[in-house]
Homo-oligomer: A and B are copies of this chain.
Amino acid sequence: MPKMPTAAPAATDFPRPLVTVDVVIFTLLHDSLQVLLVRRPDAADEPFAQQWALPGGFVDVQHDATLLDCALRKLRDKTGIATPYLEQLGSWGSATRDPRGWSATHCFYALIPAAAVRLETGASANAGAGAAQWWDVDATLNTALAFDHHTLLAAALARLRSKVEYTSLPAFLLDEPFTLPALQRTFEVVLARPIDKSAFRKRMLDGQFMQEAGVLPGAQGRPAVAYRLRDRSQATLFPRPFAAHGADPATGPGA
């Protein structure tokens, strides 16, 4: 706790940083991993006006009971989704990341099925929000974003890719019901590498996180068995990673 001589000002008198929450929202669209970005408002006193940014903003101490509630609210506002897979990524704070002053953001990431989304187009009354739009993740990594959002996005992607090596996370990107081949394609898109079919199926079925839900015909060929997730709130952990993994699963943010 802060150093204070005997009759100092109360700790709560310290200058307070700005506190925000940002959410990296992933989905699978057109066989590619996409992230939701919003356009920053165009006002004179707004930093990074007109630039693309992650959905997020200040914690509302009147209405947000917790950081998680705040993240859920922002996600609901932009996508209409109330029960996403949502996980905290970490926090980033520094004197320089926001031109308005010392600022700390609490960053979450979410995985949602594209079909469930009703995009906030931005023409609404409670604006401040420009258009929300899906962006291809790899393309976005080569783009300048507002604030340090490029760093947040890169960290979220690293976390996702790392966890895909040993969890069932990509299942949350799919609409239900889905087939095993579709799930495999999702894994392959996220990992950006092919996976052996037989090994993949053994792994998923042994994981016991799905239950059968009829069959789904494809465009051609034999229809596939359809599945639903048993629990959309938590990923299943596999006993081993797919292969020698590279990045640290749990290490998050730096500054």
Contact = CB atoms under 8 A, between A and B. Distances in A.
Interface in A23-44: 38, 40-41
Chain A interface: which size bin?
A: 35 or more
Which secondary structure dominates chain A's binding surface?
loop
A67 B94 contact: yes
A12 interface: yes
Given A1-B128, A90-B91, A106-B93, A255 B66 contact: yes
A17 interface: yes
Given A69-B255, A88-B252, A14 B95 contact: no
Given A67-B92, A234-B248, 8 more contacts: A1-B38, A59-B93, A59-B104, A67-B104, A162-B250, A239-B244, A249-B249, A252-B252
Interface of A: 1-4, 10-12, 14-19, 38, 40-41, 45-46, 53, 56-62, 64-69, 87-88, 90-96, 100-102, 104, 106, 126-129, 159, 162-163, 167, 234-235, 237, 239-241, 244-246, 248-255
